[in-house]
A and B are shown apart, each in its own frame.
Chain A
Amino acid sequence: MDNTSLKAKPPLGGYRKTFGDTTLQEMTGLAIIAIATSNGGAVKVPGRDHNQLAVSANDPLDAPAPGTSNVIHQDQIAIRLLSLRQDLILAVFTAQNNRNAIEALRNKFGRTIPITDQSDAWVVLGLSGPLSESALERICSIDLHQDVFANGDLAQTRMEHISTILFRSGDEAFQIFAPRSYARSFLHAVETSIHNVR
């Protein structure tokens, strides 16, 4: 058993498919870390006592407001911070040099901030190309127009009854996070929707 090493298996085996100029692919090799910021990204809110703290857009720690994201850099690592709600941020980065990335998060949010590794809990689909917006708008109720849902914005919502996080990574590019156990059903939903708008 000495020579045995464990290798993570992506939920869809590294799926990739093109539909004309539109590409749907599984994003693999991502580290996904949940950060509970309830006492970390703290600001004083008028009319509240010191114990009533909340993360807000003018947070001194520069945590993104709910529904938006930003990127922090440290030691050539780019960490995307996706703010899901007032007290929960997902940090997403390429899984390498993870210790340095965790250190960067601790430097930003404090040594005692609760962080949870969720890397293998999600399946992430990357959808890019001219059909991506029209395919997604058929299966989610979020207004995807770029004036409203801009690059870097995200929404925690539901698609085909599956709880998802939808992130706009570019003009015609999205990343969609779904629970790993839904991987195949979720892929089927997105594939079907692309077929329907072709």
Chain B
Amino acid sequence: MIIDHPLLGPRDASEFTYLGDAALLDRPDTALLDFADGADGADRADGAAANAIRQFHDYLYLRDNIAGQTRELWFHEAGDGSWLVVTRDTVTHEIAKVEMARDVALAKKHNDEAK
């Protein structure tokens, strides 16, 4: 399998290590979490999301196991040390898109701030 690095061009997959689903980039805001309070869904005076713990649980443990297109995090360990978001079909191994994870994260931040 060859991953077309956005900056460096096509590189063999053996240069990379795989981390997991790119959902890991969407970490819930930990500032909203209060792990001392186990009361999920209770009214909160401090502005924490009512389902904050559930959100974090889902972020940590729940993954879809898709036969089809997934977004994954790959690390260019033997190359420039960059993190990539690779959109890959798990059935055909066809790679549809490769982005710098940094760009994806910054775009998300930019969008969140624009909201």
Q: Does B62 contact A (CB under 8 A)?
A: no
Cα A88 to Cα B11 with chains together (Å): 19
Q: Which of B17-25, B26-34, B73-81 contacts A (4 or more CB under 8 A)?
A: B73-81
Say which size band chain A's interface belongs to.
Answer: 10 to 19
Whether A156 pairs with B110 at a CB distance below 8 angstroms is no
Whether A48 pairs with B110 at a CB distance below 8 angstroms is yes
Cα A65 to Cα B5 with chains together (Å): 14
CB-CB under 8 A from A47, the residues of chain B are: 107, 110
Whether A156 pairs with B9 at a CB distance below 8 angstroms is no
Kindly identify which residue among A52, A66, A85, A141 contacts B12, using a CB–CB cutoff of 8 Å.
Answer: A141
Given contacts A156-B80, A158-B78, contact A67 B14 (CB under 8 A): no
Whether B80 pairs with A66 at a CB distance below 8 angstroms is yes
Kindly identify which residue among B15, B82, B107 contacts A157, using a CB–CB cutoff of 8 Å.
Answer: B15
- Which residue from chain B places its CB closest to the CB of A149 in the assembled complex? B9
Cα A52 to Cα B78 with chains together (Å): 25
Given contacts A52-B106, A163-B78, contact A86 B12 (CB under 8 A): no
Q: Does B41 contact A (CB under 8 A)?
A: no
Cα A67 to Cα B107 with chains together (Å): 25
Cα A45 to Cα B7 with chains together (Å): 15
- A163, chain B: closest CB distance, angstroms: 6
Whether A86 pairs with B7 at a CB distance below 8 angstroms is yes
Cα A156 to Cα B106 with chains together (Å): 25
CB-CB under 8 A from A85, the residues of chain B are: 7, 80-82
Number of B residues whose C-beta is below 8 Å from A?
A: 16
Whether A148 pairs with B9 at a CB distance below 8 angstroms is yes
Whether B7 pairs with A157 at a CB distance below 8 angstroms is no
Whether B110 pairs with A67 at a CB distance below 8 angstroms is no
Whether B79 pairs with A157 at a CB distance below 8 angstroms is yes
CB-CB under 8 A from B80, the residues of chain A are: 66, 84-86, 88, 156
Q: Does A143 contact B (CB under 8 A)?
A: yes
CB-CB under 8 A from A157, the residues of chain B are: 11, 15, 78-79
CB-CB under 8 A from B81, the residues of chain A are: 85
CB-CB under 8 A from A142, the residues of chain B are: 11
Encode contact with B along A148-163: 1 for CB under 8 Å, 0 otherwise: 1000000111100001
Extra 13 A-B pairs, beta carbons < 8 Å, given A86-B80, A142-B11: A48-B110, A67-B8, A67-B9, A84-B80, A85-B7, A85-B80, A85-B82, A86-B7, A86-B82, A141-B15, A148-B9, A157-B15, A158-B14
Q: List the 6 closest A-B pairs by CB distance, nearest first.
A: A85-B80, A141-B12, A158-B78, A66-B7, A67-B8, A156-B79
